[in-house]
Amino acid sequence: MIIASMIVKALPENIDEVVLKLNNIPNVTTYGVHKEENIILLIEADSEDQLKDLSRYINSEFEGILGTYPTFVASDEEMEDVIKSSN
């Protein structure tokens, strides 16, 4: 499981609608609108691909989006498990 936070920047006039839409995406939780144009998202995804797809989806399908900017990413999978599975 990948856990990430992201700031979604949107035009102030579209921001309420964007928050509503974001809250409808599975495994996405919004944490308020800050400084007019910034929405904080917490994402819990099965893979990095889902994170990337989500970012692309938000950028391409939502009106009034200015950009999506990750601020944190981590996995609850331990590194040693990864190395073991590669051997």
Binding site for another protein (CB under 8 A): 1-7, 9, 25-26, 29, 31-32, 34-35, 37-38, 40-42, 44, 46-57, 59-61, 66-80, 82-83, 85-87
How many angstroms separate the CA atoms of 82 and 77, rounded?
8
Work out how close the CB of 63 gets to another protein at its nearest, in angstroms, rounded to a whole number: 11
Distance (Å, rounded) from C-alpha 2 to C-alpha 65?
24
b/e for 64-77, b at 16 or more Cβ within 10 A? ebeebeeeeeeeee
**Rounded least distance, CB 14 to another protein, Å:** 12
Minimum CB separation of residue 33 from another protein in Å reads: 8
Pick between residue 17 and residue 29 the one whose CB is nearest to another protein: 29
Helix, coil or strand: residue 25: coil
Residue 35 DSSP code: T
In the complex with another protein, the residue whose CB is nearer, 18 or 68, is 68
